[in-house]
């Protein structure tokens, strides 16, 4: 028996895989920053949106549309906030961009316990260190279906970071510029939690759905 697959068989297998790995056209809108973190001045929301676009694009279940690789997302204030989104705007944006789903929301709360300390060196001098007992970033997330402008899914996403000790930089950085900064680590953790949830709802549709729906599992506990 010939062990080599014919081209028709290869194409059939490829076609079957393509169906199984359907990629959802998705666009990330500009996120709001309601954390009240003064020194960040909205930087966490921009960095969260940038990383969210990149991470979604890296997952095989999604196809990013109308987003630059480092852009902050599409600004659509009429679709943000707690109120019911404007359906006509969502439908129109879906037609303009080709996106089936729009991801929108806001960063609602950032909390961290810790402080700074001065560590003296053996040979004189020393350095300032930032000590964090762990922090958390919460995101109010909504997914809008552009076919009718309705909210298909919504969830409060929360992510926690572990305790760390990092040397303080001489100059402050934007969230995301220093991967060791508490805010940057919180943003990254929230992005991963968000993409895992979206992948579950839109693509996997397996036992993860029951885990996310379990009322005994808080939204910031990592349901997967």
Annotated domain spans of the chain: 23-108+137-159+179-213
Residue 211 is predicted with a pLDDT of: 85
**Do 115 and 40 form a contact (C-beta atoms < 8 A)?**
no
Reading the chain (224 residues) residue by residue, the pLDDT tens digits are 344 444 444 344 444 444 445 689 999 999 999 998 866 667 889 999 999 999 999 988 999 987 665 556 788 888 987 788 999 999 999 999 999 999 999 999 998 766 555 555 555 566 666 666 677 899 999 999 999 999 999 999 999 887 766 665 545 555 555 555 778 889 999 999 999 999 999 998 888 988 888 766 555 544 33
* Helix (H) or strand (E) segment spanning residue 89: helix 87-97
Instruction: Report the alpha-carbon distance of residue 91 to residue 99 in Å, rounded.
Output: 10
User: Helix, strand, or coil here: 85?
Assistant: coil
What backbone torsions phi and psi does residue 174 show, to the nearest 5 degrees?
A: -70, 150
Fold of 23-108+137-159+179-213: Rossmann fold (3.40.50)
DSSP code for 203: I
Contacts of the segment 53-59: beta carbons below 8 A, 24+ positions apart:
53/28, 55/191, 55/192, 55/195, 56/26, 56/28, 56/103, 56/195, 56/198, 59/195, 59/199, 59/203
User: Helix, strand, or coil here: 157?
Assistant: strand
Residue 223 is predicted with a pLDDT of: 37
* Helix (H) or strand (E) segment spanning residue 215: none
What is the pTM assigned to this prediction?
0.73
Report, in this order, helix, strand and coil percent for the chain, each rounded to 5. 35, 30, 40
Instruction: Report the alpha-carbon distance of residue 75 to residue 100 in Å, rounded.
Output: 17
Instruction: Report the alpha-carbon distance of residue 12 to residue 134 in Å, rounded.
Output: 50
């Amino acid at each position: 028996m010939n062990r080599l697959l014919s081209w028709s068989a290869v194409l059939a297998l490829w076609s079957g895989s393509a169906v199984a790995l359907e990629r959802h056209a998705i666009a990330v809108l500009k996120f709001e920053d309601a954390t009240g973190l003064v020194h960040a001045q909205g930087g966490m929301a921009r960095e969260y949106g940038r990383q969210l676009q990149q991470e979604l694009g890296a997952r095989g279940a999604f196809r990013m549309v109308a987003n630059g690789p480092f852009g902050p997302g599409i600004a659509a204030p009429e679709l943000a906030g707690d109120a019911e989104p404007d359906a006509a705007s969502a439908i129109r944006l879906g037609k303009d961009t080709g996106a089936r789903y729009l991801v929108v929301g806001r960063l609602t709360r950032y909390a961290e316990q810790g402080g700074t300390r001065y560590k003296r060196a053996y040979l004189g001098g020393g350095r300032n260190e930032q000590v964090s007992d762990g922090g958390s970033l919460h995101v109010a997330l909504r997914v809008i279906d552009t076919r009718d402008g309705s909210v298909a899914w919504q969830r409060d996403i929360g992510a926690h970071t572990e305790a760390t000790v990092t040397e303080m930089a001489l100059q402050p950085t934007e969230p995301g510029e220093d991967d060791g900064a508490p805010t940057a680590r919180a943003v990254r953790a929230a992005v991963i939690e968000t993409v895992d949830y979206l992948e579950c709802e839109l693509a996997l549709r397996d036992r993860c759905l029951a885990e996310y729906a379990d009322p005994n599992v808080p939204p910031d506990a990592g349901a997967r």
